[in-house]
Structure 1
C-alpha cells in the first residue's frame, strides 16, 4: 500500500477510540488498522504552499509560502492572539474570512491533555480542536458571539490557568488527576462581571480515547528536514502526532512536504 503527494493534517472522527486517516492531498489512508505495522515515509525534498500550491524552499506556519503567510487572514497575528482581533477596525486582511471565522459563535473551554488548560475555538469546530490537542477530556465554560470576546476571556483566565499543552507529557499520557467540572465551578468568581452572562455550567464533559498499542517511554521528535526517511512501527496516534517505536512525527508541522508513504 502506497501514497504519494503533499502532506495534509491528519483527519479524525470522534469514535471510541478516535478514528484517524492519514491524508496526502486527495488520498486518505485509514490508520487505526495499521497499529503495529511498519510504515516508511520518504521526503522527496519538494515543498509546496498548502494555500496557493506554489513550489517553495521553506514553509511558514504549518505549510504557507511567505506571501500567503504575510497576506492571508488565516496567518494574521490575531489568530494566535484573538483578543487583538481587528475586524471591527476595518483592517482585517480578508473581511469575508472574518465574517465566517471570527464573527461567529465561539466557546471558551477547559481541556485536559497533560494538565488543565484554557482555550477557545469556533462552536462548530470544538470537537476537532480538542482532538487535535490530544485532550482526554474537555468542556465548554462560556459561549460568546465572536472570537475577540472569547480571546478576552481566555487572556483573563490564563493568568491562573495555563493556555499551552506540554506535548511531551501529553504523548506519554502523563495526565493530571483533575476534575474539569470542579475546575470549571471554581472559575466563576474569577470571570469579570461583564462576561458572566456568557458563563455556562450546564455542559457535560466530553471524553476521548486514542488508538494506542503502547505508550512511549521517551519522546524523540522526528524531523523530515533532517531525516529524509522515517521508518518505524506505528504504536499510536494522538492529536496530530504519529507515534512510532522510533519517535514521534508532528504531521501538522510538515504540511506541504511531498512524501512517499509505504506500508
Structure 2
C-alpha cells in the first residue's frame, strides 16, 4: 500500500516494442507489470495539489494545475493544444524563457495508428513516449521541424486529410488493424505538397524537413490480458474508491474488470494504491 499525489504513469518500450508501465505517486514509482490479473484499488482522498506550485486546490485544471497557475503558465496557454496559434514571435508569450526551452526547439510531425490513422506533433525528445501515452500500436515520424509553431502549421495541413484525435473508446477495445504508415506518408505528402512547399518558401527549407528513407515505423504491444467489449469510464470524483482486477494498461488508462480509468486525468490528486498479493 502506498499513498501520494498521482502523476502521469511512467511508460517505456523495449527494443521489441513491448510496453511496460510504472504508477507514479509523488516521486515513488510502482512497477505494474506484475499487477496484471490481480485486484488493485485506488482510494482518492479528495485532496488535490497543484503539480506546479504545490498549493491545495479544490479543482484540477489542465490535468493537474490550480487555477492561478492555469491562468499564468505558458504550459497552460491555448497554443499548447493548438501550436499553430503560438505567439512567441509576437513577443506576447506568457513565459519566454520557458518557451525557449520547450517550444523553440525541434519537433516531429508524425503519423500513428490508434485504431485509426492520425497525425500528431511532439517535441524531439518525446518519442516514443508520445505514441505510448496515446495507446498507438504503430508510429512513424514524417518531418522534423524548427519549432512548435511550425509543427502546428504542418499538422494543420494534414488535418484536412486525416484526424488529429484518438478515439479513446475504440483504442481501449483493442481493434487495431495494422496500417502501412510509409505508404500513408507518401500518399498524404503527395496530396499536400503545395501547402508544404508554401511553408518552406515562407520559412526556409530547413524549417520543414522530411525524414529520409532510413526512417522506421515503430510497433508496440501493450500489457493487456483482455480488452473490454464495452468501455465503461470510471469517474473518480463520483467513485472515489476505484477497485477491480487489472486486465490491462494502454495509453494512460487502466483497464479493470469494473471499467476503465484515465490515470492522467487525475494528476495531482491524492490517492492510496493497494495491490492484493497473490
Q: What range describes the TM-score normalised by the shorter chain of this pair?
A: over 0.9
**How much has 1:45 moved relative to structure 2?**
1.2
Partner of 1:11: 10
Q: Secondary structure at the match of 2:8?
A: coil
Which of 240, 244, 247 does residue 232 from structure 1 map onto? 244
Could you tell me how far 1:57 is from its partner in structure 2?
A: 0.7
Instruction: Kindly indicate whether residue 265 of structure 2 is the aligned counterpart of residue 253 of structure 1.
Output: yes
**CA–CA separation in structure 1 for the residues paired with 2:123 and 2:178:** 27
Aligned length: 262
1:50 deviation in Å?
1.0
Gaps of 5+ in 2: none
Query: Residue 219 of structure 1: CA displacement?
Result: 0.7
Within 1, Cα distance between the matches of 2:186 and 2:242?
45
Distance 1:97 1:120 in 2: 19
Name the residue aligned to 2:34: 33
2:122 aligned residue: 121
How many Å apart are 1:48 and its aligned residue? Answer: 1.0
Contact 2:161 2:188 in 1 (8 A): no
Higher mean displacement: 225-234 or 7-16: 7-16
1:1-263 mapped onto 2 (5 Å cutoff): 2-15=1-14, 16-189=17-190, 190-191=192-193, 192=195, 193-195=197-199, 197=205, 198-202=209-213, 203-263=215-275
Aligned partner of residue 186 in structure 1, secondary structure: helix
Counterpart Cα distance in 2 of 1:126 and 1:235? 26
Q: Which runs of 5+ in 1 are unaligned?
A: none
Q: Give the whole-Å Cα distance in 1 for the aligned partners of 2:240 and 2:189.
A: 50
Deviations 1:114-162 (A, max 9, x none): 1010011111112111100100001011111111111001011101101
Measure the CA separation in 2 of the matches of 1:28 and 1:178. 34
- The two structures, once aligned, show a CA RMSD in angstroms of 1.2
2: CA distance, partners of 1:164 / 1:180: 17
Instruction: Give the distance between the partners of 1:195 and 1:237, measured in 2 at CA.
Output: 39
Q: Tell me how far apart the structure 2 counterparts of residues 28 and 234 of structure 1 sit (CA, whole Å).
A: 18
Write out per-residue CA displacement over residues 27-54 of structure 1, whole angstroms, 9 at most, x where no aligned residue. 1110011100100111111111111111
8 A contact 1:184–1:201 mirrored in 2 = no
Cα distance between partner residues in 2 of 1:103 and 1:45: 37
Q: Distance in 2 between matches of 1:176 and 1:87?
A: 40
Distance (Å, rounded) in 2 between the aligned partners of 1:35 and 1:195: 47
3-state SS, counterpart of residue 64 of structure 1: coil
